[in-house]
Structure 1
């Protein structure tokens, strides 16, 4: 559902209805005429939000950090952890 904006405190939720093949959007609170309907895209890092949706959150709102590791780095970390056991 890309026609609804993201909010950390959304006023709606969405679910996929298998039977009808459609998305159902439900208000989580009473909405007035003209209110923007907002969904949560989830707890995503700014790099992922940027790549997926084309926007970022203000720095203080960053919900988590994203780290990228190579296969070699993961293997080395796993080996080091085994040595500690």
Structure 2
């Protein structure tokens, strides 16, 4: 799965978890959103874990959430998920 597909999954999960974030994302360009920090969207650590868990479930990835504590920027989250997805595909 490419980063654009993962972006769509992350965006969808964010919108599901946070109505405030959904409103913010409605009229923003993709490149602007990628540089946004989840905390700036009102996504707290519990919401963050839920977003990541939802996307990992869609990607059929099983991994500790600890890897995501290093960042809070959407583009970095997409990068981590893409790497995990690529590793999973290489093993399969």
TM-score, normalised to structure 1, is 0.22
- The structure with the greater share of residues assigned to strand is 1
Say which one has the larger Rg: 1
TM-score, normalised to structure 2, is 0.21
